Amino acid sequence: MTQATADPAANAKPDILTRAGHAGSKIVKDNADALTSAGHASTAAFKDLAEAYQELAVRNARNLTSAIQALTAVKNPAELLEIQQKLVKEVVEAAVSDSQKIAALTVAVFTAAFEPLKKQFEALQKTTPN
């Protein structure tokens, strides 16, 4: 004859452990999914950033060639000063514009990398009792 356990808590423990195990597995899976998502998103954003740097290098090389051609075609000192001032102005404007674009793309890389992790962390905080 088998005798039922007198302690109802003893019968409940396996169920609690099973639920805790499932919850732990879900957290691990969700964390892995968030890391995978962050990896894919940051890879795409990093590709955009690398392309922007490549475009910048090509444009700067073209601008340098153009500037050298303009400077070698100078016929007098006044024209040299005029072209030099124009080139300096263009370079400064391009540098400001390019740095703003690169900064925005850099922010996009970090945002893409950390946004899925941030969402997962926030979801974990909501499920964790205070």
Q: What is the pLDDT of residues 39-49, one digit of tens each?
A: 777 788 888 88
SS3 96: helix
For the chain, domain boundaries: 13-127
> So what's the pLDDT on residue 1?
46
Overall average pLDDT of the 44-73 stretch: 92
What percent helix, strand, coil does the chain show, rounded to 5? 90, 0, 10
Nearest CA to 49 out of 112, 111, 108 is that of 108
pLDDT digits (tens, 9 = 90+) for 105-125: 999 888 888 887 788 778 777
pLDDT at 121: 78
Q: What residues contact residue 59 under an 8 Å CB cut-off, 6+ apart?
A: 94
What are the CA-CA distances from residue 35 to residues 27, 113, 116 (Å)?
Answer: 12, 9, 7
Residue 3 DSSP class = -
CB atoms within 10 A of CB 32: 11
Measured on CA atoms in the order 73, 77, 78, 80, is the torsion positive or negative?
positive
Return the minimum-mean-pLDDT range out of 27-41, 58-72, 92-106: 27-41
pLDDT grade for 102, boundaries at 50, 70 and 90: very high
Q: Residue 75: is its pLDDT beyond 70?
A: yes
- For residue 97, pLDDT beyond 60: yes
Q: Which residue has the higher pLDDT, 14 or 77?
A: 77
The two structure tokens encoding residue 98? 């390019």
